[in-house]
Structure 1
Amino acid sequence: MPIKIKHDLHNGRNSCCYPSVSLQLAGQSCRTGAPFTRPFPPKNMAPRKKGEKKGNTEEVMETKEPQHSGAGPSDGSSREEKTSRKRKIKPKKKYIGAHVSISGGIWKAVESSVAIGGHAFALFLGSQRSWTRPALDTAAAVKFQEACAQHGFDPIHILPHGSYLMNCGSPKEDVFSKSQTMLVDELSRCSALGLSQFNFHPGASLDSTPEKCMEKIAQAINHAHQQTPAVITVLENMSGQGSTIGGQYSELRSIIDRVRDKTRVGVCLDTCHAFAAGYDISPPGGVKNILDEFDSVVGLQYLRAIHLNDSKGKLGCHLDRHEDIGCGQIGITAFREIVNEPRLDNIPLILETPGRPGFEYAEQIELLYSLCEKKTKN
């Protein structure tokens, strides 16, 4: 008997819009108090490795009754075939995906993205716990490129994320030097993987000044551009917490102004960070307003990607606390506007919401595509 999946797509802030199906998670609910429920996971799902985010390698949720016996789908097609068909159903020009794991090999990120129905994805290019990493294996790089080609991923819809260890604006010379070296290494890895852009957090001034910090960030970018070919460095806007740089559009513009090769610099807008920094995208028309302001201060030609995150914190809280789409202070209205905003066509729209037991990115990707309005011909 098929399970009916119902989305409430018309609620505003603090409404959670996930499918309600067979298994309720103990203690998991949105701010509205509505239970967050999901289907049983496939019986043949591989166990999650310690430290690996849940949901990055799981299957796309199907609307047929879950298979508890381990047998294939009842219509005779394999789960892979169903996933492939589901992945093809998307509005043109909207490329939604999630940050996925590279556990087991960097090419596994492609498989994970396909499994959750993604048409874009983000990934780390190595360990986040060490300044030094083994060189990228040539065979692994080839497998990654082959997997991307097989599943139709264009490099412009893949957004590698920089190490959180980096602080390219640090006043501490040892940290700045290691950060600059790592930035070069990250761009080199992108080149080896056939990727065209690289996203990272600009940095923090600590006990220095914002002006000196922005100067050092641009210095690191210019140095990395000299050492590597082609790859675009994509600055991420920040929440404004502590001494971090990038909470205000004007700070991003100031860094860009100092970068010599303007064709190799861009911006990724994180919705949670923007909201926490004081840019209110939650009301109707909020997305249009912040994009208009971004265009006037930075320029839409520099917008390369969006990180799709709701916010646990209130407007202007300066806290970097991501929440599930539609379950935070931003609410579903903004995300409906994002997936229907033509100025955000053809760029990666990446989910970075918290992983937890029983949670799947597939559900959020499906939700976001369901919010896309079909264009009617006159």
Structure 2
Amino acid sequence: MSGKRELIIGAHMPIGGGFARVPKETVEIGGNAFQIFPHNPRQWNAKLPSDDDVVHFLRDVKKYNLNPENFMCHAGYLVNIASPKEDIWEKSVALLITEAKICARLGIKYLNIHPGSHLGLGEKEGIERVAKALNIVMEKEKNVYILLENVVRKGGNIGYNYAQMREIISLCKYEDRIGLTFDTCHGYDAGYDVTTAEGIKQLLEEIDREVGIKRLKFVHLNDTKNELGSQKDRHENIGNGKIGEKLEVFLSNPIFNSLPLILETPGDNPEHAEDIAKVKAIWEKIDC
């Protein structure tokens, strides 16, 4: 091993049986950061973790010397705060409030969300509904930051470029508590070429121009099954997709390589351990 700075890296971790398993398993796969769902992501029901689960989780965070700044929760799949359907919108807001409270109980500062789909209502109206929802959620739980994740341009999705992110943030009452997660698969599939230094430069210039680089908090480090600009969003394991060996170019960027890198690649802990090892091997080769 060289004397190079250690990457902040981890994966999306399982929570079946409780949150207490996460710190230990994070370290076992070679990580020092992680992402979790705050509940079953395919259900509307969510409840706060038990006192015992919280105590054991927090104990192991300290035991394994993990930094809570490098943890985040990812909102459930059913949440759509851009929805024109009032019942879905209201259920999404209620669920996000519960998710934020779960984050707070666990001492997790960041809750990552996809801005949602306007389902044909129109981008302006969808953006307004996203901001309205975020204002309610952030009023109810003041200890949690919301991270807006970039998406692909399909199905009425909002958040496929940073002008849209700016519009959302400008309507938010607590804009100082809104950050960004950049997903490499989503970005590449949406047309941001993260395989070239010039493409990365243009991406960062857009982010800085529209919302400010300081809002970048995390990276979802995923390879992709699809071509540049495909708008398809299908993750692939590190090195096996269209980004492939060009991931070295992305990891060479000092802004992105200084952020926590979270894998959402196919598979479970064993596959994530392999992907983390691949990323670390690429990092060791980079001269920076």
Decide whether aligned partners of structure 1 residues 156 and 345 sit closer, same or farther in structure 2, where only a CA change above 3 A counts.
farther
Q: Which amino acid aligns with 1:364?
A: D
Aligned partners of 1:275 and 1:315 also within 8 Å: yes
Q: Which amino acid aligns with 1:368?
A: V
Decide whether aligned partners of structure 1 residues 282 and 340 sit closer, same or farther in structure 2, where only a CA change above 3 A counts.
closer
Decide whether aligned partners of structure 1 residues 375 and 275 sit closer, same or farther in structure 2, where only a CA change above 3 A counts.
closer
Aligned partners of 1:93 and 1:346 also within 8 Å: no
Residue matched to 1:364: 275
Which consecutive unaligned segments of at least 5 residues does structure 1 have? Answer: 1-85
Q: Which amino acid aligns with 2:255?
A: R
* 1:359 Cα offset (Å): 5.5
1:131, 1:376 → 2: CA distance? 47
Q: Which amino acid aligns with 1:313?
A: N
Matches within 5 A, 1:257-272: 257-272=170-185
For residue 220 of structure 2, give the secondary structure of its aligned residue in structure 1.
Answer: strand
1:208, 1:183 → 2: CA distance? 22
Q: Deviations over 1:331-363 (max 9, x none)?
A: 222x2233332213543201111117x962111
Q: Deviations over 1:128-183 (max 9, x none)?
A: 22211233211111211111111121111012111010001110000000000111
* 1:243 Cα offset (Å): 0.7
For residue 266 of structure 1, give the secondary structure of its aligned residue in structure 2.
Answer: strand
For residue 39 of structure 2, give the secondary structure of its aligned residue in structure 1.
Answer: coil
Aligned partners of 2:194 and 2:250 also within 8 Å: no
For residue 255 of structure 2, give the secondary structure of its aligned residue in structure 1.
Answer: helix
1:291, 1:93 → 2: CA distance? 23
- Higher-helix-fraction structure: 2
Residue matched to 1:171: 84
TM normalised by structure 1 equals 0.72
Aligned partners of 1:159 and 1:348 also within 8 Å: no
Count of aligned pairs = 288
Pick the aligned partner of 2:51 from 131, 134, 138: 138
Residue matched to 1:65: none
* 1:207 Cα offset (Å): 2.6
Q: Deviations over 1:48-79 (max 9, x none)?
A: xxxxxxxxxxxxxxxxxxxxxxxxxxxxxxxx
1:117, 1:295 → 2: CA distance? 32
Structure having the higher Rg: 1
1:362, 1:205 → 2: CA distance? 37
Pair 1:250-2:250 in alignment: no
Poorly superposed stretches of 4+, deviation over 6 Å: 374-377
Between the aligned residues of both structures, percent identity stands at 36
Decide whether aligned partners of structure 1 residues 376 and 241 sit closer, same or farther in structure 2, where only a CA change above 3 A counts.
closer
Q: Deviations over 1:170-215 (max 9, x none)?
A: 1000000000011111111111101111101111000311111111
Q: Which amino acid aligns with 1:172?
A: K
1:352, 1:156 → 2: CA distance? 19
Matches within 5 A, 1:145-224: 145-224=58-137
Q: Deviations over 1:57-104 (max 9, x none)?
A: xxxxxxxxxxxxxxxxxxxxxxxxxxxxx9xx9842620111010112
Pair 1:309-2:185 in alignment: no
Q: Which amino acid aligns with 2:277?
A: E
Decide whether aligned partners of structure 1 residues 327 and 374 sit closer, same or farther in structure 2, where only a CA change above 3 A counts.
closer
Q: Let me know the Cα RMSD of the aligned residues.
A: 2.1
2:197, 2:137 → 1: CA distance? 40
2:220, 2:59 → 1: CA distance? 26
For residue 107 of structure 1, give the secondary structure of its aligned residue in structure 2.
Answer: helix
Which consecutive unaligned segments of at least 5 residues does structure 2 have? Answer: none
Matches within 5 A, 1:1-378: 91-92=4-5, 94-333=7-246, 335-355=247-267, 360-373=271-284
Decide whether aligned partners of structure 1 residues 150 and 359 sit closer, same or farther in structure 2, where only a CA change above 3 A counts.
closer
